[in-house]
Amino acid sequence: MNIKEIKLQPEFEKAVLDLGFSEFTEIQEKCIPLIQQGKDVIGLSHTGSGKTAAFGFPALEKVNPGHGLQLLVVVPTRELCNQVTKEFRKFTKYRKTYITEVYGGVSINPQFEHLRKTDVVIGTPGRLLDHLTRRTIDLRKVKILILDEADKMFEMGFIEDINRIISEIPKNTQKLLFSATMSSTILNLVHKYMNNPEKIKMPIYVDKSKLMQNFYSTDRRNKFSLLVHVMKHQPLLTIIFCSTRRNVDFINNNLRKLNFKAEAIHGGLTQSKRKQVMDAFRDNKLQILVASDVAARGLDIKNVDLIINYDIPKTSQEYVHRIGRTARAGSEGKVISLLTSEDHDNFRHVLEDRSLLIHKMETPQFEEVKTVKTQSQGNSFGGGFRRDRPQGGGFQRRDGPRSSGFKREEREGGRFPPRRPSQGSPRRDSKSLNPRGPFRRR
């Protein structure tokens, strides 16, 4: 639809033109008028459909700058928080709106001052809950609540946090929920909190006619050697997906030893490092991004030529999220999956989506590459959350599932089982772990 067919307020129309929009995408065309009318909306769409603009422009139109926090956007990861904030600042170029991003992995203290003056907050559930506990954020004037990537937030174990956040906002707040899938957890939340929502469902944005999907079979011992062979013959802008932080670090470090321009991104890295990596990849200073699913969830990374699944995701939905970062907007793209015997169960789940056309390729001859085992970066526990230096007592956790324990080799975004008490010691709740107070969330 031509941009002139949807009426935005003049300041936002001017921002749209500055951003180079010539027409709205399908989800923008359908969601913007409904949000402008004040309706609750459920938007089912995959990465790359343009949903940030779909909810951003009409929601920001309703914000009256200088009158307190009126718009709250909740996202699952720090990277998505940073990305949505950048887009919102572009959208409000001609209307001065105080926008604050709130997430863990950085000092909480500077956020206190920003929250006292802000009109809009984009935040991750863990850090938002921290501010609610401290009473440093006031949600009583919130007009619109947006849950972005809702399915991923619930997979990460944030449902209790979301319920707490919603309990703090006015009941008549307009609620917008965007997700790739509609799980039973999301349905329960919809029935509990949303008022006769309009449901907008988008088809997968990937142009499958221009997306080549192949897989190679190999054994576990030769998997990395096959990856190196593929990369030598595919000198393209590439994202390699792994299911654990340990694998991300292993792949990245060994590729770098072979002089590939690669960097890792996962939840165990500091926020400044993650931002540095993403900026370098977007600016084409890197050839390869080795990523966990959680760290790369929802990121708008353009011009990616090749997706490699070093580990096969557990579901077809997660597979589609990965491949959705290539073959966008008429461009061509390629996906290569590397299968070993350990991946077969997951691959069967992926193939349950009959629309995915994944071709088996004959495994090529390749040289064996020696690898060096590496310890997971920034993580003294070999997986799970890393301990941070206390700020005001206790130890703090990165944004992640609410849990009382650590699991040594987790898949990022999974639930964590509670820690078993040692023999002969009484079981302690989270409040008793620190004499100065409970766990503090980052």
pLDDT digits (tens, 9 = 90+) for 260-274: 999 999 878 887 888
The pLDDT of residue 3 is: 65
Q: Is the per-residue pLDDT at 320 higher than 90?
A: no
Angstrom distances, CA of residue 140 to CA of 72, 98, 137, 324: 11, 17, 9, 37
pLDDT at 89 over 90: yes
Dihedral sign from CA coordinates of 9, 68, 186, 157: positive
Beta strands at 99-102 and 120-123: parallel, antiparallel or unpaired: parallel
In whole angstroms, give the CA distance from residue 70 to residue 143.
5
- Dihedral sign for Cα atoms in the order 12, 17, 18, 23: positive
Q: Lowest mean pLDDT: which of 132-141, 153-162, 191-200, 325-334?
A: 325-334
pLDDT average, residue stretch 387-416: 39
Nearest to 123 by CA among 69, 174, 170: 69
CB under 8 Å to 124, separation ≥6 — which residues? 74, 75, 76, 77, 78, 81, 102, 103, 104, 399
Q: What is the CATH number of domain 3-201?
A: 3.40.50.300
Check: pTM over 0.75? Answer yes or no. no
- For residue 288, CA distances in Å to 147, 252, 285, 411 come to 30, 9, 9, 21
pLDDT of residue 160: 92
Domain extents in the chain: 3-201, 208-360
141-to-197, 289, 327, 346 alpha-carbon distances in Å: 21, 41, 42, 45
Fold of 208-360: Rossmann fold (3.40.50)
User: Is the model's pLDDT at 392 over the cut of 50?
Assistant: no
Half-sphere exposure of 37 (CA within 13 A, CB side): 11
Task: Give the residue-averaged pLDDT of 401-420.
Answer: 40
- Under 8 Å between Cβ of 83 and 299: yes
Q: Which of 340, 361, 374, 411 is nearest to 262 (CA)?
A: 374
pLDDT of 361 > 90? The answer is yes
Pairwise pLDDT comparison (299 vs 254), residue with the higher score: 254
User: How many whole angstroms separate alpha carbon 328 and alpha carbon 179?
Assistant: 19
Average pLDDT over residues 125-136: 96
User: What pLDDT is recorded for position 300?
Assistant: 63
pLDDT digits (tens, 9 = 90+) for 29-84: 999 999 999 999 999 886 667 889 999 999 999 999 999 999 999 999 888 899 89
Q: What's the confidence (pLDDT) of residue 419?
A: 42
Q: Which two tokens stand for residue 205?
A: 């944005």
How far apart are the C-alpha atoms of 342 and 81, rounded to whole Å?
34
Mean pLDDT, range 82-106, rounded to an integer: 94
- End-to-end, the C-alpha distance of the chain in Å comes to 41
In the predicted model, is pLDDT for residue 431 greater than 50?
no
Looking at every residue in the chain, the average pLDDT score rounds to 81
> pLDDT value at position 19?
87
| Cα 363 from Cα 132, distance rounded (Å) | 54
Model pLDDT, residue 391: 36
Confidence at residue 437, expressed as pLDDT on a 0 to 100 scale: 41
pLDDT at position 436, please?
41
Residue 2 pLDDT:
55
> Is residue 403 very low, low, confident or very high in pLDDT (cuts 50, 70, 90)?
very low
The pLDDT value given to residue 180: 79
Phi, psi angle pair for 239, to nearest 5°:
-115, 125
Predicted confidence at residue 202, as pLDDT, reads 79
Q: How far is CA 36 from CA 6, 32, 39, 40, 223, in A?
A: 10, 6, 8, 10, 51
Q: Higher-confidence residue: 224 or 203?
A: 224
pLDDT band at 15 (very low <50, low <70, confident <90, very high): very high
Q: Residue 390 has which token pair?
A: 């206390």
Q: Which of 333-342, 388-397, 408-417 has the highest mean pLDDT?
A: 333-342
Q: What is the mean pLDDT of residues 151-167?
A: 90
Sign of the CA dihedral running 251, 257, 261, 264:
positive
SS3 assignment, position 27: helix
When comparing pLDDT for 294 and 65, which is higher?
65
Share of the chain above pLDDT 70, in %: 77
The single residue listed with the structure tokens 């422009």 is 57
Of the two residues 295 and 62, the one the predictor is more confident about is 62
Confidence category of residue 376, pLDDT binned at 50, 70, 90: very low
Backbone angles phi, psi at 113, to 5 degrees: -65, -45
Whether the pLDDT of residue 441 is over 50: the answer is no
Q: Is residue 194's pLDDT more than 60?
A: yes
Question: Token pair for residue 155?
Answer: 């997979």
Do 3-201 and 208-360 show the same overall fold? yes
Grade residue 299 by pLDDT with cuts at 50, 70 and 90: low
Tokens of 316: 């077809």
- Strands 99-102 vs 211-217: parallel, antiparallel or unpaired: unpaired
Q: Is 208 helix (H, G, I), strand (E, B) or coil?
A: helix
* φ, ψ for residue 250, nearest 5 deg: -60, -50
pLDDT at 430 over 70: no
Q: What is the mean pLDDT of residues 403-412?
A: 37
